[in-house]
């Protein structure tokens, strides 16, 4: 791939967006490559957790490629917007947890990519923002939809309508970021979280994520119907039998054989 670096280590797939000359800004090619890379890792049975990060120490993704956007008409913008939205849906709908290792600027489309990940761990120099209104635009890759669900409507309204940028510490305070670490420790911290996840049942993880995301806009009662069906169906799987048996036998379960 031209704009991505990929690697696999101990069950964890790492995708690095690699356009350091433009602070890892997203153009149409990067969007396509990222969608493909995530899909490939979802299909790889040797990978149980995916980490997305940016190259260098300045930016996760500083946004979409503004020079490319300047040349777009409404039709081109619609195509670009839908491609970006589809990319974020591939990330969000992954049955394997996707962690955003945010190592600097996560602005505009970069913030939206991080929002699509299942959670975010940031370096202490990370900066988040949806500054599209400063350009006469709005977020187009799900920012108006996901940000309110993560931080609440009031805070999302403020961030989107002011276009202001916030520090990693502020992002952590409002619940946008799960934890903050140093730049040097960021990737190792994400890998450590990934290793905790890898000890658990892949089926249970995938079903947990499915219940959380499919039921977000449902009533509690309707969401619990989705949950109890998934709960019951797991009793037909070898992983659940292994987990319950291991507990009774007082040993560690072996889910990933």
Catalytic residue among 132, 184, 227, 242: 132
Q: How many CA atoms lie within 13 A of 44 on its CB side?
A: 20
Tokens 């309204």 correspond to 157
Tokens matching residue 88: 């974020």
Query: Measured between alpha carbons, how far is 235 from 232 in angstroms, rounded to an integer?
Result: 6
Catalytic residue among 57, 75, 92, 112: 112
State residue 137 phi and psi, 5-degree precision: -125, 180
Query: Measured between alpha carbons, how far is 121 from 98 in angstroms, rounded to an integer?
Result: 11
112 is catalytic: yes
Beta-bridge mates of residue 99: 51, 119
CB 181 within 8 A of CB 123: yes
| Helix/strand/coil for 5 | strand
* Total Cβ atoms within 10 A of residue 241: 13
DSSP code for 198 = H
170 is catalytic: no
Integer CA distances (angstroms), 232 to 213, 215, 226, 237, 240, in order:
18, 17, 10, 10, 10
Catalytic center residues: 112, 132
């Amino acid at each position: 791939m031209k704009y991505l670096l990929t690697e696999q280590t101990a069950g964890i797939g790492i995708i690095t967006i690699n356009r350091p000359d433009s602070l890892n800004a997203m153009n149409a090619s990067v969007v396509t490559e990222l969608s493909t890379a995530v899909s490939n890792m979802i299909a790889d049975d040797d990978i149980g957790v995916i980490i997305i990060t940016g190259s260098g120490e300045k930016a996760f993704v500083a946004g979409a490629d503004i020079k490319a956007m300047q040349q777009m008409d409404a039709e081109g913008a619609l195509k670009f917007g839908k491609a970006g939205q589809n990319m974020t849906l591939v990330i969000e709908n992954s049955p394997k947890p996707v962690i955003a290792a945010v190592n600097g600027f996560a602005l505009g489309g970069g913030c939206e990519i991080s929002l699509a990940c299942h959670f975010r761990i940031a370096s202490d120099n990370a900066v988040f923002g949806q500054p599209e209104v400063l350009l006469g635009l709005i977020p187009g890759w799900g920012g108006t939809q996901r940000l309110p669900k993560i931080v609440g409507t009031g805070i999302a309204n403020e961030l989107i309508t002011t276009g202001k940028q916030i520090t990693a510490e502020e992002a952590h305070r409002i619940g946008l970021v799960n934890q903050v670490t140093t730049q040097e420790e960021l990737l190792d911290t994400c890998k450590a979280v990934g290793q905790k996840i890898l000890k658990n049942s892949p089926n249970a993880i995938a079903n947990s994520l499915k219940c959380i995301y499919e039921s977000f806009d449902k009533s509690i009662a309707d969401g619990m119907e989705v949950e109890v069906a998934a709960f019951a169906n797991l009793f037909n799987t070898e992983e659940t039998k292994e987990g319950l048996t291991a507990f009774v036998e007082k040993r560690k379960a072996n889910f990933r054989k």
